[in-house]
Amino acid sequence: MLLMNTHCTAWHGNKECRACDGKENAFFAGLAHEEVAALHVEIDNVSYSHGETIYHLDAPAETLLVIRTGAVKLVRHPDGETEQRIVRVIKPGDVVGVDAMLAGTVQHDVVAVGEVRGCRIPLSVVAKLCMQYPSFQWNMMRQLQSSLKETEQWLVDLTGSVPVRERMARLLLRLRDGDSNRIYHFSLKDLRAMLCITVETVSRVITEFASLGLLVRTGKHNEQFFTADIAALERVAAGGTSC
pLDDT tens-digit readout, 113-131 = 989 999 898 998 888 888 8
Give the DSSP per-residue string, 171-221: HHHHTB-TTSSEEE---HHHHHHHHT--HHHHHHHHHHHHHTTSEE----T
Q: Answer for the pair 206, 215: CB distance below 8 angstroms, yes or no.
A: yes
Q: Answer for the pair 19, 37: CB distance below 8 angstroms, yes or no.
A: no
Asked whether residue 88 falls in the same domain as residue 174, the answer is: no
pLDDT tens-digit readout, 137-159 = 888 888 888 888 888 888 888 87
pTM of the model: 0.81
3-state secondary structure at position 88: strand
Query: What pLDDT score was predicted for residue 145?
Result: 85
Beta-bridge partners for 76: 85
The CA-atom distances, in angstroms, between 22 and each of 16, 27, 150 are 10, 10, 21
Q: Of 107, 124, 157, which residue sits at a domain end?
A: 157
pLDDT tens-digit readout, 155-193 = 888 877 889 999 999 999 999 998 899 999 899 999 999
CATH of the domain at 202: 1.10.10.10
| Domain that includes residue 190, residue range | 160-237
Query: Domain for residue 146, yes or no?
Result: yes
Q: What is the DSSP letter of 23?
A: S
Asked whether residue 168 falls in the same domain as residue 103, the answer is: no
